[in-house]
Homo-oligomer: A and B are copies of this chain.
């Protein structure tokens, strides 16, 4: 789960991390009012769950009220990577003389939280990682020790020579780790972390992502979620026991199991088709789940054909087939369906489906090719 910059910085503030004075605004009028209160110059920043705002023109410095107005006008309503900008953050301009990057995330390899720090702040860290990987210092945090003062110092000395800054950084790094733990974060980032003209460390920007698996014990974090329309669909699907992700192709996919669902999409692509979605219906043969899944697929107007790929494991194919038949009986589906069943009791399942005059195929490759043919009709 992602939250906005201003929400991340609100959390930072609660831990006494210095951030810019700032106000969230939903209209140009609010931006004008906020600018009056904060004083010029201000920076107007789009608040969307997408990276690369700056490049997209979603961040503008305003030295005059006119510029602030113009910035608000141009940014509000803008589309950034499919996200519509509905609010902007107006932040007081801050004088600073150097920019750093610090971030915490989970490192799969060491199975620990990792702290990343770089003197190349203010640019996208992924670019630094590619162009100059040595400029990013990485420190694995021992879960038994946490962010000790000595580790925080070790990191701080990589960024700063001035001991007054090192001491501030030690405090800051320990707080960031505490935030990471306290909120079950998957990413906590300050980019840039700046040294202000009066020698203070300040979070000019902030970013936090959270572990979806831990939201059950993070009600305050979960309450910050602002899903887009597509994400709302994904969440609704999740609540029905399905994992659904919309894509931009024409072949609707319904598969049991995440890995198999990905592999099915890959096979469609292999034969030149385009999957309309990822949809994992899990291990159930419950007709209601199939109906929900069907409705999800049909709600996407791009979908021209539905490809169903089920591998019977613990769940038997004949049970799944019965579920499918009941589901399809209860709803009107006016686009073609290609069904492939394999694994436990596949033959019996295929027989049941054939009896209901639904087309079945014998392999995933065949299913994909048939679906592509039907989609191109």
A143 contacts which chain B residues (CB < 8 A)?
A: 144
Contact flags A131-155 to B (C-beta < 8 A → 1, else 0): 0000000000001100000000000
| Overall SS of chain A's interface | loop
Question: What separation, in Å, do the CA atoms of A368 and B144 have in the docked complex?
Answer: 51
**CB-nearest residue of chain B to A145:** B144
**CB-nearest residue of chain B to A142:** B144
Question: What separation, in Å, do the CA atoms of A143 and B144 have in the docked complex?
Answer: 8
Contact flags A114-145 to B (C-beta < 8 A → 1, else 0): 00000000000000000000000000000110
Question: What separation, in Å, do the CA atoms of A144 and B143 have in the docked complex?
Answer: 8
**CB-nearest residue of chain B to A144:** B144
A144 contacts which chain B residues (CB < 8 A)?
A: 143-144
Question: What separation, in Å, do the CA atoms of A273 and B144 have in the docked complex?
Answer: 52
Contact flags A311-328 to B (C-beta < 8 A → 1, else 0): 000000000000000000
Tell me the A33-64 residues at the B interface (CB within 8 Å): none
Quote the shortest CB–CB distance from A268 to chain B (angstroms). Answer: 45
Question: What separation, in Å, do the CA atoms of A143 and B146 have in the docked complex?
Answer: 13
**CB-nearest residue of chain B to A143:** B144
Quote the shortest CB–CB distance from A219 to chain B (angstroms). Answer: 17
Quote the shortest CB–CB distance from A147 to chain B (angstroms). Answer: 16
Question: What separation, in Å, do the CA atoms of A144 and B145 have in the docked complex?
Answer: 8
The 2 closest A-B pairs by CB, nearest first: A144-B144, A143-B144
Sample (2) of A-B pairs whose CB atoms are under 8 Å apart? A143-B144, A144-B144
